[in-house]
């Protein structure tokens, strides 16, 4: 009899955990900040590991658009405490990706300011490039041309 009760309790606990996992995103607080490009009015959006970051219509409620300043100064996804991070590699128009903060051959982006709505430049010093928008994509390119100014939006 005790064995059946233990199995039943374990089943109820598993169901409770499963129910917690299906809580709507709108019910959980969204932390971090959006990264909005001044020239295009679009925000960066994470599209999964191994997929380019895109520039889309800003929405502070979309977790994939929420970023944070990681402890080592690299821009990371707000959902994690140490990554994954925003990375660039090719300073001649290469796409920007999100991956492990110390992904081989790639360099993380940092910002000149993380203050709410203050204009800033995001740079990947290791890759020698600025974060910019080209079409609907976030790219890593050298030089200043007006597409490299961003702002953090916290709310």
d(CA 46, CA 52): 8
CATH code of 79's domain: 2.80.10.50
pTM of the model: 0.78
The answer to whether residue 24 is domain-embedded is no
Domain count, the chain: 1
CB atoms within 10 A of CB 20: 8
The tens digit of pLDDT for each residue in 60-107 reads: 999 999 999 988 889 999 976 667 999 998 777 799 999 988 888 899
The tens digit of pLDDT for each residue in 27-37 reads: 455 589 999 99
The answer to whether residue 37 is domain-embedded is yes
The answer to whether residue 117 is domain-embedded is yes
pLDDT at position 144 over 90: no
The answer to whether the beta carbons of residues 101 and 85 sit under 8 Å apart is yes
Range of the domain at 119: 32-153
Which pLDDT does position 88 carry in this prediction? 92
Pairing type for strands 149-153 and 34-37 reads antiparallel
């Amino acid at each position: 009899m005790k064995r059946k009760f233990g199995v039943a309790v374990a089943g109820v606990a598993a169901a409770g955990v499963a129910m917690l996992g299906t809580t709507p995103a709108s019910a959980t607080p969204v932390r971090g900040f959006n990264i909005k490009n001044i020239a295009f009015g679009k925000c960066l959006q994470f599209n999964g590991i191994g997929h380019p970051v895109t520039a889309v219509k800003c929405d502070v409620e979309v977790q994939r658009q929420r970023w944070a300043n990681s402890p080592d100064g690299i821009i990371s996804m707000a959902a994690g405490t140490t990554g994954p991070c925003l990375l660039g590699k090719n300073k001649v128009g290469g796409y920007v990706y999100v991956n492990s903060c110390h992904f081989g051959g790639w360099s993380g982006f940092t910002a000149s300011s993380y203050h709410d709505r203050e204009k800033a430049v995001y740079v990947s010093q290791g890759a020698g490039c600025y974060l910019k928008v080209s079409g609907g994509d976030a790219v890593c390119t050298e030089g200043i041309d007006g597409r490299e100014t961003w702002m953090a939006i916290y709310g």
